[in-house]
């Protein structure tokens, strides 16, 4: 069992503004400090209504193009993974997110603006602790030729492979440890990516209206529409960013060796549910084994 670590929140409130990738409208996101054991909670403002949506696996309602949480009715907040990747990296366990739109702003398409914003707000270490998620056996999910595995490990690391039908994204793979320093410099700045033909189709349906070269890497049939990339393998790095952000929905720090091939939000969340199922069972067993019996077996037989 790993040593418990202190819970954290932000020191001061901050406000971040950006474009919603689908609506194309300005979104205001405010982050506020929270008491220990609050967890991560969104408050969605819809007119005069304030809707509470906790960040948890039970509240994930869609994983088709991004990770979306909801309150069980029509109230939703989508594309939370970039924000949560930054939150996980900085060890934030308790925070309030106030938002005036159904989508977290896309910012520059990466987690970097969220990471920088949280750091500028300062981080407050709380007295209470949280125990990192520890797995004792390999856990995996498979969907056709796509798979995602988590192996026991004392540190967080990843081996991620993508294989798109594109000359620049065939058989691209990346392996790295994922401590705070590496996440901050090598993963969080990687921007989301998409294919020009798909963007045009989405915009024809009134979606992706906020997408542009300012917040995405866009691929043509044989190259990039962007003038430059932040990394030669920026796309696979962004997939790692998404994976970390999706697993952060579990609400606890986690460690393990993640091995992914052609995964996405749906597999990420499926793996998170499998992890929590095993962890919950293990922790209940450990708790049970530590209980002091009220009477001996000999007394029970009388």
* Spatial distance between the Cα atoms of 246 and 57, rounded to a whole number of angstroms: 10
Has 257 been labeled as part of a binding site? no
Active site (annotated) includes residue 265: yes
* Spatial distance between the Cα atoms of 137 and 139, rounded to a whole number of angstroms: 6
Name the pairing type of β-strands 40-46 and 26-33: unpaired
* Spatial distance between the Cα atoms of 53 and 97, rounded to a whole number of angstroms: 10
Name the pairing type of β-strands 156-162 and 68-70: unpaired
Give helix 234-247 / helix 81-89 axis angle, nearest 10°.
80
- Catalytic residue (choose from 22, 88, 257, 265): 265
Tokens representing residue 13 in the block: 């409130």
Give the number of C-alpha atoms closer than 13 A to the C-alpha of residue 53, restricted to the C-beta side: 31
Q: Let me know: does 242 contact 85? Beta carbons within 8 Å.
A: yes
Nearest to 193 by CA among 216, 171, 225, 173: 216
Tokens representing residue 264 in the block: 């996405």
Q: Let me know: does 192 contact 110? Beta carbons within 8 Å.
A: yes
Has 242 been labeled as part of a binding site? yes
* Spatial distance between the Cα atoms of 191 and 238, rounded to a whole number of angstroms: 6
Has 163 been labeled as part of a binding site? no
* Spatial distance between the Cα atoms of 53 and 55, rounded to a whole number of angstroms: 7
Give helix 265-290 / helix 234-247 axis angle, nearest 10°.
40
Name the pairing type of β-strands 40-46 and 95-99: parallel
Mind telling me the catalytic residues? 265
Binding-site residue numbers for Zn(2+) are 82, 238, 242
Binding-site residue numbers are 82, 238, 242
């Amino acid at each position: 069992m790993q040593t418990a670590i202190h819970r954290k929140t932000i020191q001061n409130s901050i406000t971040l503004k950006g474009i919603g990738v689908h609506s194309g409208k300005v979104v205001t996101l405010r982050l506020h400090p929270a008491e220990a054991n609050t967890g991560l909670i969104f408050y969605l403002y819809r007119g005069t209504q304030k809707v509470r949506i906790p960040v948890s696996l039970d509240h994930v309602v869609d994983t088709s193009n991004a990770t979306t949480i909801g309150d069980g009715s029509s109230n939703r907040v989508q594309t939370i993974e970039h924000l949560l990747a930054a939150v996980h990296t900085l060890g934030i366990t308790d925070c309030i997110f106030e938002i005036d739109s159904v989508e977290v702003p896309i910012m520059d398409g990466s987690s970097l603006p969220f990471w920088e914003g949280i750091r500028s707000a300062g981080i407050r270490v709380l007295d209470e602790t949280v125990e990192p998620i520890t797995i004792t056996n390999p856990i995996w999910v498979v969907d056709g030729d796509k798979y995602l595995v988590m192996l026991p490990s004392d540190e967080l690391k990843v081996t991620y492979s993508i294989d798109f039908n594109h000359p620049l994204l065939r058989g691209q793979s990346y392996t790295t440890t994922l401590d705070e320093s590496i996440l901050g410099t090598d993963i969080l700045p990687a921007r989301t990516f998409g294919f020009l033909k798909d963007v045009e189709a989405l915009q024809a349906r009134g979606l992706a209206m906020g997408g542009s070269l300012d917040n995405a890497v866009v691929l043509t049939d044989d190259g990039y529409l962007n003038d430059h990339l932040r990394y030669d393998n920026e796309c696979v790095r962004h997939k790692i960013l998404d994976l970390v952000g999706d697993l952060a929905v579990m609400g606890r720090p986690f460690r393990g060796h993640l091995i992914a091939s052609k995964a996405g939000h749906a597999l990420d969340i499926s793996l998170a549910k499998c992890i929590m199922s095993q962890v919950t069972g293990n922790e209940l067993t450990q708790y049970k084994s530590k209980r002091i019996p009220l009477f001996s077996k000999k007394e029970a037989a009388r």
